[in-house]
Structure 1
Amino acid sequence: MTELLSDPRTQRLHVAVIGAGMAGLTCARELVTRGARVTVFERGAVAGGRLASLQTDAGVFDVGAQFLTVQNESFAKEVRRWVGADLLRTWEASLAELRGGQATLVAPSAARFVGVPSMQSIATYLARGLDVVFDAEVGRISRGSAEWYLFDPRERQLGIVGFDALVLAIPSVDALRLVRSETDFAPRLEAVRWDACWSATLALSRPSGIEFDAALISDDPILAWAARDSSKPMRQLGEGVAERWLLQARSTWSNNFVDMPADDAARWMQRAFAARLARPLAQKSCSALRWRNSTPVEALAEPYLWDPGRAIGLAGDWCGGARVETAFLSGLGLAQAIAG
């Protein structure tokens, strides 16, 4: 991120950021670095977004992004900082392709980094020192003569005063509901399509003997990905737990059964995993989590959207592609555009 003490163009700017995921937090931190006052509104109880992790009796599962990779130099510079702060470590996983019940080990195309002790730790770190209001759902936005005003679903104003600029760093479907009557962005947002994803957290009471740590599953009608979550560095196991696995369902299956009860989705996914391995698994627990808007199928080509006339912008991993790095670059680019 930009190493500035302040920027005269943003010193008096008061910005509201909706969403405390990678894009929103990156945008907020960059603006603060440039001297702006920023308030982040997050409807959840913690920061995270796609970097979500889930605390269970079996331990902490990474239920969102499984890891991150680096292509862009700006992101590489930030990743080096995180590694130096012991926030990230390399995940030396044995990666395989699972087809027809046969696992073929493959060499990773790039280093895979994970947050420690969880992926959500990255978001927690980025939120540190920022003015973040949790459990703050934005139900409506309104543009006054020169400022933006935010209201919760009960029409209570969020924030004591208005904001000079507004950033929405949330999924496009959620942003569309807020901006439809306030900007010309609606047609762009309507063009973004999303796939759902079911994730299952599987805890085993005995070692599985599986020879890989993560696998792309190419020919299963239900599963697309399986990862031994407990093989990541600095992961602790719950009492009586030998291994933890995170399973992700195929997008077609997830879309078709997005309204299935979570317990049923967990059973289907666990059974599919055991069948694909052709071995019994000593299941201790298994539950499922539904992501209705998991992966943008048709992401925007632009890294962010910014309307300088109305001082409103949008960012996220649906701008440019569904990767942690893309979300970072989206938030960083939008902050730089706001700063001018």
Structure 2
Amino acid sequence: MFNESFQTPLIRRIAIVGSGLSGLTAGIILQEQGHDVSVFEKSRGPGGRLAAKRVSGGSADIGAQYFTARNPDFLPFLRKYAGEESFETWQGRFGFRDSSGEWSSFPEEPRYVGTPRMTAITRALSAHVNVVAETRVGKMTRNDSEWALEDVNGNPLGHFDQVIITAPPAQSRDLLADSGLAELASHLDDPVERVLPCWAVAIHFEQTPWSHHEGMRTDHPVLYWVANNSSKPGREDSGQWWVLHGDPEWTKQNVDTPAEQAAARLIDAFREVTGFDDEPDEVVTHRWLYARSEGGDQPGHLWFSEDGIGIAGDWLSGGRVEGAFNSACSLIRTMVPDS
């Protein structure tokens, strides 16, 4: 994947914006090569779309539900830097319901989840790099050959030779535009239009509402994905927590709907799919404004060599969780050709 013994002739100071899987992967690789890396994260902790929300008795994965590993370098990277204990195979039954109401099985391949929650992976990875949490980068200013970064309140964050941005396209574009880099920002106009939102709801039942599948894709105008979160390894829930993801187009049309109303409609759709009429005894809702990208050009990464600015993210490499890793690796290979 990369040559860990490679030593650059000059230690470069590199800022990474965003501590999702792309940002942490890039940070770890560059730090292994001897560079001075700082990862800036606007939230309290790392994660990106590998997200979980605290619920009674534990947590529920409200972002990416699982990941696959088709790149032979991906699992070895996770085992080395996140640890064997941070993820396991989800031995669930996965089905797809088509418009006629017939169920089909997902293709057979290993599917992995973080244990005991998806954020376990990024939290473990973050231990290997310097993550500056609760810090939103607001502007980058060019000073000779360096970039001076400051947060949204104008506080200085340091000077860096290169910057890697791994935020969602809309936030990346805003940062570039606010830094006077309109031409670079324009490269993200199309990706911004292709990112879809998603309403996510975690619901709890004392009784099992559905026993046929642990993960389901549905051909329903409101409900896109259903998962028995409690069936994932490492979860020790009382009763069962289920996660519902809204259809992207429905979410787009209802992105400003109050959370309680959006959750009620998703629960109604869940009843329509499963036939289970009991009310959940707990409901937790989250709105993803930038959930996933569909279509468009996916070059793997963007690298503006004259400016020393790179952009990485799953949306540049297929949209899957593994795409975040692939995007970061391809960017580093371009930035440091001998890596």
TM-score under structure 1 normalisation? 0.92
User: Aligned letter for 1:164?
Assistant: D
2:195 paired residue number = 194
For residue 324 of structure 1, the aligned residue among 314, 318, 321 is: 321
- Structure 1 residue 59: Cα displacement: 2.1
User: 2 CA distance for matches of 1:145 and 1:83?
Assistant: 37
- The 3-state SS of whatever aligns with 1:333 is helix
Q: Can you list the C-alpha shifts for 1:188-214, whole angstroms capped at 9, x where unaligned?
A: 200112111111111112222532111
- The 3-state SS of whatever aligns with 2:49 is helix
Evaluate the alpha carbon distance shift between residue 189 and residue 199 of structure 1 in structure 2; reply closer, same or farther with a 3 A threshold: same
2:266 paired residue number = 269
Deviates more, 1:32-41 or 1:307-316: 307-316
- Structure 1 residue 297: Cα displacement: 2.2
For residue 288 of structure 1, the aligned residue among 276, 285, 289 is: 285
User: 1 CA distance for matches of 2:134 and 2:296?
Assistant: 28
1:89 paired residue number = 88
User: 1 CA distance for matches of 2:142 and 2:155?
Assistant: 16
User: 1 CA distance for matches of 2:155 and 2:79?
Assistant: 42
Evaluate the alpha carbon distance shift between residue 305 and residue 183 of structure 1 in structure 2; reply closer, same or farther with a 3 A threshold: farther
Matches within 5 A, 1:62-211: 62-79=61-78, 81=80, 85-99=84-98, 102=101, 104=103, 106-159=105-158, 162-180=159-177, 181-182=180-181, 184-192=183-191, 193-211=194-212
Q: Can you list the C-alpha shifts for 1:291-336, whole angstroms capped at 9, x where unaligned?
A: 1111112343211111121111110012122111111011122223
User: Aligned letter for 1:230?
Assistant: S
Evaluate the alpha carbon distance shift between residue 337 and residue 283 of structure 1 in structure 2; reply closer, same or farther with a 3 A threshold: same
Matches within 5 A, 1:35-74: 35-74=34-73
Evaluate the alpha carbon distance shift between residue 95 and residue 53 of structure 1 in structure 2; reply closer, same or farther with a 3 A threshold: same
- The 3-state SS of whatever aligns with 1:31 is helix
For residue 253 of structure 1, the aligned residue among 250, 254, 275 is: 250
Root-mean-square deviation (Å): 1.9
User: 2 CA distance for matches of 1:202 and 1:272?
Assistant: 13
Answer yes or no: is the 8 Å Cα contact 2:24–2:125 preserved in 1.
yes
2:32 paired residue number = 33
User: Aligned letter for 1:145?
Assistant: D
Structure 1 stretches of 4+ with a deviation exceeding 3 A read 79-84, 99-103
User: 2 CA distance for matches of 1:120 and 1:226?
Assistant: 19
User: Aligned letter for 2:15?
Assistant: A
- Structure 1 residue 77: Cα displacement: 3.6
Unmatched runs of 5 consecutive residues or more in structure 2? none
Evaluate the alpha carbon distance shift between residue 4 and residue 100 of structure 1 in structure 2; reply closer, same or farther with a 3 A threshold: closer
User: Aligned letter for 2:198?
Assistant: C
Answer yes or no: is the 8 Å Cα contact 1:98–1:217 preserved in 2.
yes
Q: Can you list the C-alpha shifts for 1:250-300, whole angstroms capped at 9, x where unaligned?
A: 011000000111111111111110122122134111122111111112343
User: 2 CA distance for matches of 1:131 and 1:225?
Assistant: 35
TM-score under structure 2 normalisation? 0.92
User: Aligned letter for 2:300?
Assistant: P
Answer yes or no: is the 8 Å Cα contact 1:28–1:335 preserved in 2.
no
- Structure 1 residue 103: Cα displacement: 6.2
Deviates more, 1:125-134 or 1:18-27: 125-134
User: Aligned letter for 1:165?
Assistant: Q
Answer yes or no: is the 8 Å Cα contact 2:96–2:105 preserved in 1.
yes
Evaluate the alpha carbon distance shift between residue 299 and residue 150 of structure 1 in structure 2; reply closer, same or farther with a 3 A threshold: farther
- Structure 1 residue 120: Cα displacement: 0.8
User: Aligned letter for 1:254?
Assistant: T
Deviates more, 1:144-153 or 1:223-232: 144-153
